[in-house]
Structure 1
């Protein structure tokens, strides 16, 4: 009897195992075939992606801002850069907790651009804010033509769902189960079984959010921040992916965030934190906005035990209007309030901004522009890994910024050093910080941002790899090395002569030139932008492509696909002037543009003047 019982148990176990196997096969082959069942011209590819970290500053926000859905859309384009033409649009699917997409195989010999659109909304808009389409392949094909529509056209026209105007209680992406649209552009050499949708260093792609976020923190002892009443003159809509860095014109497509028409309650309330009040856990999300839209915020607070309303323009520490850029975090910290505000929201709205009555600082998260290395404990990042000074003077320059969230006070491995002894004496050295140490996080204020200064003379241009000294000695590069625990980063410091009053065109392109007196430096360029500055550099520094007679209205930003960017410096009829250009390059043109070999260069341009300062 016992043997029969054991036999029956074994038989039932085998039957149960067969049933489970059959069920598993049914799940795998339902709707999305496994790799063995794809047709000969298709390939299944796993997607490795996550949200780009808000590393600067360390912010909280809502859970939605870090969610990356399992079913992003992949739009495939054939060709180089912005002129690549559309091939297909495919939505990914989830299988065993992972993301997969089945794409049509594409041969080697061409470049392919994969535009990844994560967290799709129920509808998309194309070229306007009027007509919405259900987000599916059939509707995408009514607007995007295979073999005809370019990547540039799609990025320009593919837009999010517009907000209401006024939006009343609606703060985009602040509700439950409302993840933020994100995007990423990945270049691959072919599409087959070896294709990986990941970075070249095997890390996950860091998707870029389509919105910025804004927070207000109050540390003023004479003021109690109660909340944000309204946000005015902000865009209703954004582009899914910003290809060239320019901001979509939204001047006729603005809205206002408010609780209700009567402003009967704050749109966002604060919570008590150490030292004051904060909206960090309940941020405002905003689409990209040009400073010409003149956005502003009305806050409510108690000053000397009396409630007032204050109008805050979105400006920097010098009270200059600023653009709102995607995937940035704008953190306003009120330090002191110098007087009363207005008795009503309506009065505050028609007044001048109260920024002069509010002593504040602003920290802007541009961590997407930082080069970051990390371990499991902390990260170390730099704003740029190359610094080039165009200057005839022997002076100190702010070469780059260091940012870290490290709290460990390493006794030895926390250093900033130069190789001054390896180059000509007096041509270069570290200027600040004077103690040569990387500042770490203190008093829980994270992250820690530190500007690094270097002294550079006009003799440094002759100290670069590839050049030979008179005595036959091989020159080496000037550099600053950061060491933080087991993380290490090196920054290349370079110098060229100042630009003459006649102007010049600086060429950043693949070249064999080593002569520092020629206006040509060997880099494979991807993109560039001119930073705002006191000398209005955007009026006299113009970014150009290599295409003859190219008609470009936007000379402040540029993206190219041939590795060549020209920086034109116009003639100067006034006094000496200065401007900053940031250039993004890739070390190996044969690798992915989004891989770990991408570098950022800070170019500090001084132009001589006809009039003495």
Structure 2
């Protein structure tokens, strides 16, 4: 009976391969001599994926379209050092996506890199040589067993935009889709594997571009549109694996209607009384570092006369900011303080006009959150682990994490934030809020809310692994989505300093400054106590005498956080953010886990 089933399965796959050949889809059987043996080593997996929400504002329909035939690149191992196995294009059958992958045994980790909506060509490490996006070309650049995940992600690039000024905004055509990506970690590849979230819902793919919208609410100003976008990156990485923006300082272009700037390249429409917006015609661009000096020339009417204004990409504190992929930036003009310039040339030469336009900026940075989602809404947290370094006598309140959602549904019984303080004898507690805030009719979308947690110096004695005790958790529930945040505590750092080790380890003693995480990146946050001057990050391969970094990427999972001696009598504090491989089996929604360290160092 089992043998009959085997031949039936083989027959099905043969028919399937014929079907795919008729549809001109590319399926890998590289290195297999015998078709029957090759099919026995393949497994058919359905793909469940959709685009991550830009959240604000709504725009054209194809912005969120995910094609039916994404590419799946398979790597064996963990982190940036995982090595390439195969590249396979999915196929469509009965309106569903499937992919045939080579079976891989348990006992290892496997990274599935999903590349959806690719352009007709990809570039590898430069902007000069393009390759047709097919299996043969991919295998000419990615060597099985040799090319690492980190190398592939850093070198697989989009087809560059024209170096001459573009007369239309890329990805704004009626039939154009936006390239997207996602990395999924699995424990094995077989009939039990699902390319989906653990709850069966669709994976959230990340777009390679950012979106910019200009809104005018100033009663003394009429926005006509965006005349030009200057110093725009021509190219982006197909997938961002390390959080480092691509260097495009010598690889820039311009968006404009024509050489005379006779019309806006992006026009504004009136959406309400005295309100104009470009939301129906957004600007898409590859992520841009502040060094690129990307800026907009906007056109508007002030005091019954048309002017041009140079708008740099600044935050509300008038500081230059990076433009990141899958982020949405909405600049809202609240009041015009004076005239702009008569010509585009003068506006380009002048200093930015941001001070002449009283504006505010809203950034949807949901990409920096750990997100759970269903087909209606999402729930995310800025970090799913919070560690307070605290030795005070009383319970101390901390902003442990932030929660983000675009949900508009007011679930009466499933919109809660709770703690398990009774399981840890009250060594910590939720201070608020006690319900997940949702989007209201007049409120912002998404809603981002800090969650405050009280921590005592006794909490570290209750962790799992110490006399079989329990971990402290904050649990967020919104409809059928549930997320837990692990709350931890360690002693405050002495004035003499210390080195905190985050690395794969069997240590469970909270007194030892060594915690079991497989780290990917670390970053010291700016703060009032200037923590970048006294908190330094090290990798295991830095040479002796190195003074450390305030931002670091590692491949072996080890990050050392050195807290330098405090020579003052006053305590000081600083925040460090780590990203790690989440310790979950099977398939996870987002295998990158974020950790927030709130470090207090005592004074002399």
Calculate the TM-score normalised by the size of structure 2: 0.83
Q: What SS does structure 2 have at the residue aligned with 1:228?
A: strand
**Residue from 161, 164, 167 that aligns with 1:163:** 161
**Residue from 577, 581, 605 that aligns with 2:599:** 605
Q: How does 1:230-249 map to 2 (within 5 A)?
A: 230-249=228-247
Deviation per CA, 1:40-84: give whole Å up to 9, x if none.
Answer: 2242523414233225x3332232321222222223333333223
Residue 213 of structure 2 is aligned to residue 215 of structure 1 = yes
Q: Is the CA contact 1:524–1:589 (under 8 Å) kept in the aligned structure 2?
A: no
Deviation per CA, 1:537-592: give whole Å up to 9, x if none.
Answer: 455544444457599997614254x5443333345567765433333345535444
Residue 521 of structure 2 is aligned to residue 522 of structure 1 = no
- Whole-angstrom distance in 2 between the partners of 1:46 and 1:479: 34
Q: What SS does structure 1 have at the residue aligned with 2:36?
A: coil
Q: Is the CA contact 1:399–1:452 (under 8 Å) kept in the aligned structure 2?
A: yes
- How far the C-alpha of 1:439 sits from its partner, in A, is 3.3
- Whole-angstrom distance in 1 between the partners of 2:375 and 2:126: 44
- Whole-angstrom distance in 2 between the partners of 1:41 and 1:422: 53
- Whole-angstrom distance in 2 between the partners of 1:195 and 1:327: 28
**Which ranges of structure 1 fall in alignment gaps of 5 or more residues?**
1-22, 469-473
Q: What SS does structure 1 have at the residue aligned with 2:153?
A: helix
Relative to structure 2, which stretch is displaced further, 321-330 or 378-387? 378-387
- How far the C-alpha of 1:238 sits from its partner, in A, is 0.8
When residues 138 and 438 of structure 1 are mapped into structure 2, their CA distance, relative to the original with a 3 A threshold, is: closer
Q: What SS does structure 2 have at the residue aligned with 1:41?
A: helix
When residues 533 and 256 of structure 1 are mapped into structure 2, their CA distance, relative to the original with a 3 A threshold, is: farther
Q: What SS does structure 2 have at the residue aligned with 1:64?
A: helix
When residues 602 and 182 of structure 1 are mapped into structure 2, their CA distance, relative to the original with a 3 A threshold, is: same
- Whole-angstrom distance in 1 between the partners of 2:228 and 2:414: 47
Q: What SS does structure 2 have at the residue aligned with 1:40?
A: helix
Residue 578 of structure 2 is aligned to residue 583 of structure 1 = yes
Paired position in structure 2 for 1:280: 279
Paired position in structure 2 for 1:362: 361
Q: Is the CA contact 1:231–1:298 (under 8 Å) kept in the aligned structure 2?
A: yes
Paired position in structure 2 for 1:567: 561
- How far the C-alpha of 1:423 sits from its partner, in A, is 5.7
Paired position in structure 2 for 1:329: 328
When residues 502 and 250 of structure 1 are mapped into structure 2, their CA distance, relative to the original with a 3 A threshold, is: farther
Paired position in structure 1 for 2:60: 62
- Whole-angstrom distance in 1 between the partners of 2:160 and 2:66: 21
- How far the C-alpha of 1:374 sits from its partner, in A, is 4.9
Paired position in structure 1 for 2:490: 496
**Which ranges of structure 2 fall in alignment gaps of 5 or more residues?**
1-14, 29-33
Q: Is the CA contact 1:168–1:261 (under 8 Å) kept in the aligned structure 2?
A: no
Paired position in structure 1 for 2:268: 270
- How far the C-alpha of 1:129 sits from its partner, in A, is 0.9
- Whole-angstrom distance in 1 between the partners of 2:277 and 2:111: 41
Paired position in structure 2 for 1:382: 381
Q: Is the CA contact 2:48–2:97 (under 8 Å) kept in the aligned structure 1?
A: no
Q: How does 1:248-267 map to 2 (within 5 A)?
A: 248-267=246-265
- Whole-angstrom distance in 2 between the partners of 1:566 and 1:96: 51
- Whole-angstrom distance in 2 between the partners of 1:368 and 1:605: 25
- How far the C-alpha of 1:421 sits from its partner, in A, is 6.5
- Whole-angstrom distance in 2 between the partners of 1:131 and 1:170: 24
Paired position in structure 1 for 2:101: 103
- How far the C-alpha of 1:143 sits from its partner, in A, is 2.7
Q: Is the CA contact 2:397–2:452 (under 8 Å) kept in the aligned structure 1?
A: yes
Q: What SS does structure 2 have at the residue aligned with 1:406?
A: coil
**Residue from 174, 177, 185 that aligns with 2:175:** 177
Q: Is the CA contact 2:26–2:135 (under 8 Å) kept in the aligned structure 1?
A: no
Deviation per CA, 1:336-361: give whole Å up to 9, x if none.
Answer: 33332222222222222222333333
- How far the C-alpha of 1:222 sits from its partner, in A, is 2.9
- Whole-angstrom distance in 1 between the partners of 2:126 and 2:49: 29
Q: Is the CA contact 1:162–1:236 (under 8 Å) kept in the aligned structure 2?
A: yes
Aligned residues: 577
The structure 1 segments of at least 4 consecutive aligned residues displaced by more than 6 Å after TM superposition are 23-26, 32-35, 550-554
- How far the C-alpha of 1:608 sits from its partner, in A, is 4.8
Q: Is the CA contact 1:543–1:558 (under 8 Å) kept in the aligned structure 2?
A: no
Paired position in structure 1 for 2:127: 129
Deviation per CA, 1:170-191: give whole Å up to 9, x if none.
Answer: 3221113221112222333444
- How far the C-alpha of 1:429 sits from its partner, in A, is 4.7
Relative to structure 2, which stretch is displaced further, 163-172 or 153-162? 163-172
Residue 559 of structure 2 is aligned to residue 558 of structure 1 = no
- Whole-angstrom distance in 2 between the partners of 1:380 and 1:188: 23
Q: Is the CA contact 2:201–2:375 (under 8 Å) kept in the aligned structure 1?
A: no
- How far the C-alpha of 1:449 sits from its partner, in A, is 2.0
- How far the C-alpha of 1:236 sits from its partner, in A, is 0.7
- How far the C-alpha of 1:294 sits from its partner, in A, is 2.1
CA RMSD of aligned residues (A): 3.6
- Whole-angstrom distance in 1 between the partners of 2:506 and 2:331: 47
- Whole-angstrom distance in 2 between the partners of 1:480 and 1:495: 14
